[in-house]
Structure 1
Amino acid sequence: MESAPDALLGDLFARSPDLLFVASAEGALLHPSGGLREALGAGAEIGARLADLAHPDDREALAAAWAAVLQGDEPVSFGVRLRDGSGAYRRLSCSASRASDGSAVLGSLRAAPENAGEEQAKLRLKARILDAIAEHMESVAFWSTDRDGLCHYHAGKALAKAGLKPGEFVGLNLLDLFGSVPEFAGAREQWFDGTVRHFSNHSHGLEWDNWIIPLRDDSSALVEGMIGLSLDVTDSRRAENELRVQLDQIAAQQKVIRDLSTPIIEVWDGVLTLPMVGTVDSVRTAEVMDSLLSQVVEKRARFAILDLTGVEVVDTRVASHLIQLVTAIRLLGADGIVAGIKPNVAQTMVALGLDLSQLNTQRNLRAALTYAIRSMSLAQDASRAASPAPTRDPAP
Structure 2
Amino acid sequence: MEYIENICNEVEKRQRQYHAMAPEIVMTSSFFFEDFEDFAYGCSNEFDSYVYTRGTNPTVELLEEKLAVLEHGERCKVFASGMGAISAAIITLLKAQDHVLLVNTVYGATVSLVRYFEKYGVSCEVVNTTDVDEIIKRVQEHTRMIYFESPSSQKFEMIDLQKLAAFAKTKEIVTVIDNTWASPLYQHPLDHGIDVVIHSCSKYVGGHSDIVCGAIISRKEIISQIEEKGYLYLGATCSPMNAFLALRGLRTLPVRMRNVHETIQKVIDALREDKRIEKIHHPYCGDAKQKALADKYLTGYGSLFAIDLADDDLEKLKTFVNALQVFTLGVSWGGFESLALPVYKGKNQEDIVKRGLKLTHVRMYAGLEHPDTLIQDIKQALDVAYGTV
TM-score, reference length from structure 1: 0.23
Larger strand proportion of the pair: 1
Looking at both structures, which has the greater relative contact order when contacts are Cα pairs under 8 Å and sequence separation is at least 6? Answer: 2
- Larger-Rg structure: 1
TM-score, reference length from structure 2: 0.23
